[in-house]
Amino acid sequence: MIPTTGDEKGRKDVSESTVRLAIPNKGRIAQPIKELVEKSGLHLIGEGERRLIVPTLDPHVELLFARPVDIPEYVSNGAADLGITGHDMIVERGSEVDELLDLKAGRATLVLAVSEDSRALKVTDLAGAKVATEFPNITRDFFRRHGVEVKVVLVGGACEVTPHLGIAEAIVDLSSSGSTLRSNRLRVIAEVMETSTVLIANPASRVRKAEKVDEIVLALESVLRARGQCYLMMNVHRSCLEDVKNVLPGLSGPTVMEVASRGEDLVAVHAVVNEERVYQLISLLKRAGARDILVMAIERMVR
């Protein structure tokens, strides 16, 4: 059932002046997504009251906390304008939504796996077998495309133990590193689909509330773009400028500005660089003639 607050009963569409963004209330992606939303500037107001629908500092944006598996349907039927959930959830529910942005999080592969001692080596070897999964629709479609009939066993969790309990001969489950499968003595015989966390939109809301929707997309995108980047600032003698510029990789080349200095011909050089290179760059910049070097974190970056 769609979450309600106050005197609401049943589904209540979002008002024309408000954009409602549904985000996960639990699960492995819940905390990272909440942090992403906060960094984008959509700070929550009164979250401590544990409400399902929470306002943000933007009076025209509110957050709906929901189960990831329910978010595609909430967005599809208009209970939310936008939502953040896994691509796998969208496919499983068959919801009619627009995918706007890959949030580069929760990357995983939905795989078909069997126990290590199973004789099955390929999909067709499982004809007539029981397959345990939390994704019955995706699983049925996968085997249908391979022309194989199986019995799908719906489980709510701990899918990887079902082959060892005699509940199923195979599983279709998410795997990110493969460690859980290996620890449960399972091996993959086929990949079903790739998935990651995405921002989705109600098609009608995307048109009707385009300005605010685009604003939210830009805010989230700016946080994603800033990840792994840092901002370098330094002073450089003009005579050393070319040497310093040759060292700096920069996204678009360094920015050079005049410096009001007494008796020294200095310029200020600013650049955005990958944080993984900073350790090595500092020494190279010092040798090239840079001084007063500052390294700053970047929270958002808009192009």
Is 60 exceeded by the pLDDT of residue 48?
no
Cβ contacts of 216 within 8 Å, gap of 6 or more: 19, 21, 40, 42, 61, 82
- pLDDT given at position 4: 44
Confidence of residue 251 (pLDDT cuts 50, 70, 90): low
As a whole number of Å, the end-to-end CA separation of the chain is: 40
Give the fold, CATH level 3, of 229-297. Answer: Alpha-Beta Plaits (3.30.70)
DSSP bridge pairs for 232: 271, 295
Please give the backbone phi and psi of residue 296, each rounded to the nearest 5 degrees, phi first: -125, 145
Is 50 exceeded by the pLDDT of residue 170?
yes
- pLDDT given at position 144: 97
Give the residue range(s) of CATH 3.30.70.120 domains in the chain: 229-297
- Could you list the beta-strand ranges (E) of the chain: 19-24, 53-55, 61-66, 82-86, 98-102, 108-115, 130-133, 151-154, 170-175, 186-195, 197-201, 229-237, 255-258, 266-274, 290-297
Confidence of residue 100 (pLDDT cuts 50, 70, 90): very high
Where is 31: in which H helix or E strand? helix 30-39
- pLDDT given at position 14: 63
CATH dotted code for 108-195: 3.40.190.10
pTM of the model: 0.81
CATH dotted code for 19-105+197-226: 3.40.190.10
Q: Which two tokens stand for residue 73?
A: 């349907």
Higher pLDDT, 49 or 282: 282
Give the residue range(s) of CATH 3.40.190.10 domains in the chain: 19-105+197-226, 108-195
Average pLDDT over residues 214-233: 93
**Percent of the chain clearing pLDDT 90 (strictly above):** 71
Is 90 exceeded by the pLDDT of residue 250?
no
Distance CA 100, CA 85 (A): 12
Is 50 exceeded by the pLDDT of residue 8?
no
